[in-house]
């Protein structure tokens, strides 16, 4: 049996806030690690404030400390959030917490950014904290996407094939075979399909098949069927199941005085179909 160890630990970042005039020497830190954040989920980072002698310092819960994240090229501000200063104990001296929510990073590109931390001084101005003892005020933040899946684009169908169905003596419009990606789906695979309609009258039928090379309609079974009587807008439906291919047919309604159902001025239009598995 394979064993997989998983580690859950705090993301701790040291910054230098040297406001102690009695410190004489400086303990030079060779480097500061990059701050690594995961895109699309909540990230919490414990900010450990130290002086230039690598000693933890007390910070006041009444003071304001601000984290800023910005584009490294044009210095465009992307995120600015206050830090939560923890009540001081033996283990939390000089510790503040930065919380980045899912929405803070979900729209950002996966790349490197810069960040800075500053403190609101008594006179209302900000003073910098430093990411290292070489007075580097900005550190490097790497935004990764290791836990956030990339949504695949929907299949868009705007052109359907019209043919006369002898079995029902009516015209029908068919999308053809849409690959349903069964290799990525489990038994409860979720499919979503949306219909963009303009004053549509008729029936829309969603079908699925397990055939690897589906041919004519007898290889498909009906998943759902919906009737419309002049509907305009977007209608959608979800369904579950593993299918090799999906197909959509729509059968327009026949005009009251018509001899067939080939009158778009009466039955309206199916503008677009979007499908995602």
Average pLDDT over residues 205-233: 87
Number of domains within the chain:
2
In a domain, residue 149? The reply is no
Percent of the chain with pLDDT over 70: 84
3-state secondary structure the chain: CCCCCCCCCCEEEEEECCCCCCCCCCCCCCCCCCEEEECCCCEEEEEEEECCCCCECCCCCCCCEEEEEECCCCCCEEEEEECEECCCCCCCCCEEEEEECHHHHCCCCCCEEEEEEEEECCCCCEEECECCCCCCCCEEEEEECCCCCCCCCCEEECCCEEEEECCCCEEEEECCCEECCHHHCCCCCEEEEEEEEEEEEEEEEEEEECCCCCCCHHHCEEEEEEEEEEEEEEEEEEEECCCCEEEEEEEECCCCCCCCCCCHHHHCEEEEEEEEC
In a domain, residue 2? The reply is no
Average pLDDT over residues 97-103: 91
pLDDT of amino acid 241: 87
pLDDT of amino acid 224: 92
pLDDT of amino acid 28: 53
In a domain, residue 1? The reply is no
Range of the domain at 24: 11-144
Among 101, 123, 144, give the residue marking a domain's end.
Answer: 144
- Its pTM stands at 0.57
In a domain, residue 183? The reply is yes
Instruction: Assess whether pLDDT exceeds 90 at residue 90.
Output: no
Instruction: Assess whether pLDDT exceeds 80 at residue 186.
Output: no
pLDDT in tens, 49-75: 887 777 888 887 777 889 999 997 888
Do 138 and 227 fall into the same domain?
A: no
């Amino acid at each position: 049996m394979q064993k997989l160890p998983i580690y859950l630990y705090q993301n701790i970042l040291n910054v230098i806030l040297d406001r102690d005039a009695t410190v004489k020497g400086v303990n030079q830190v060779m480097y500061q690690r990059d701050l690594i954040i995961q895109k699309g989920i909540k990230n919490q980072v414990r900010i450990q404030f130290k002086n230039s002698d690598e000693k933890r310092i007390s910070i006041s819960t009444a003071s304001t400390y601000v984290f800023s994240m910005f584009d490294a090229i044009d210095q465009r501000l992307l995120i600015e959030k206050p830090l939560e200063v923890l009540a001081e104990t033996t283990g939390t001296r000089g510790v503040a917490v930065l919380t980045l929510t899912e929405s803070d990073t979900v729209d950002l590109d996966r790349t490197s950014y810069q960040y800075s931390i500053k403190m609101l001084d008594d006179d209302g101005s900000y003073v910098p904290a430093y990411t290292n003892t070489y007075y580097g005020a900005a550190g490097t933040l790497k935004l990764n996407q290791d836990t956030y899946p990339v949504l695949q684009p929907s299949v868009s169908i705007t052109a359907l094939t019209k043919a006369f169905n002898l079995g029902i003596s009516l015209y029908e419009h068919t999308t053809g075979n849409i690959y349903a990606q069964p290799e990525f789906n489990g038994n409860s695979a979720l499919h979503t399909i949306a219909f963009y309609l303009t004053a549509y009258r008729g029936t829309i039928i969603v079908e699925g098949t397990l055939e690897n090379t589906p041919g004519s309609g007898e290889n498909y079974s009906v998943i759902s069927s919906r009737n419309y009587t002049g509907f305009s807008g977007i209608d959608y439906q979800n369904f579950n199941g593993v299918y090799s291919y999906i197909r959509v047919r729509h059968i327009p309604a026949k005009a009251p005085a018509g001899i067939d159902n080939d009158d778009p001025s009466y039955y309206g239009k199916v503008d677009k179909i979007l499908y995602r598995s």
